[in-house]
Amino acid sequence: MSKKIGLLMGSFNDFDKVKPAIDQLKQLGIPFEAHNYSAHRTPEQACDFAREARKNGFGAIICAAGVAAHLAGVVASQTTLPVIAIPLTGRLDGLDALLSMVQMPPGMPVGTMAINGAKNAALFAAQILAVEDADLAARLAALRAKNVEDILAQDAKLQEAIKG
């Protein structure tokens, strides 16, 4: 059985932007827990989650936040598990969050996805877990193969459209 993924969001208002990660984890059959913990409003809960994550069976943590996007950095400071950040659109179309997340100080790495890149965050977390989980690696390979089929089907539609 695969380790779990932790998914933290700084505000419940972020749920719609984080849902693609939840959907992707469910599709791949990866167990996860999602929580609303803020780096600024509930720092003790966020830090406790991060400190206990390895012991509680997690293999990676995804953190989604916008505006003053410190959640991923705070979580990373409390664990040696991989932390993946999702910058979310906010006041400056997510650029503020993106810059906050990619400028972590040396020794405190955080993998950062594209703005609102929840689906890729889930896939990246899955790839991390798949290093030691052959069944999950096979599910990821099957997903990639389906993506190829879907794109080739779209290309066939394109070819028909331009002929007509």
pLDDT, tens only, 11-69: 999 999 999 999 999 999 999 999 999 999 999 999 999 999 999 999 999 999 988 78
Q: Tokens 């996860």 — which residue?
A: 32
Domain that holds residue 88: 4-133
50-66 pLDDT, tens digit each: 999 999 999 999 999 98
Task: Look up the pTM and report it.
Answer: 0.94
Question: Is residue 20 in some structural domain?
Answer: yes
**CATH code at 23?**
3.40.50.1970
| Angle (nearest 5°) at CA 15 between 28 and 77 | 80
- Structural domain tally of the chain? 1
Residue at 154 is within a domain: no
Q: How many helices (H) and strands (E) does the chain have?
A: 6, 5
Q: 145 in a domain, yes or no?
A: no
Q: Is residue 146 part of a domain?
A: no
Q: Report yes or no on 159 lying in a domain.
A: no
Residue 30 belongs to some domain of the structure: yes
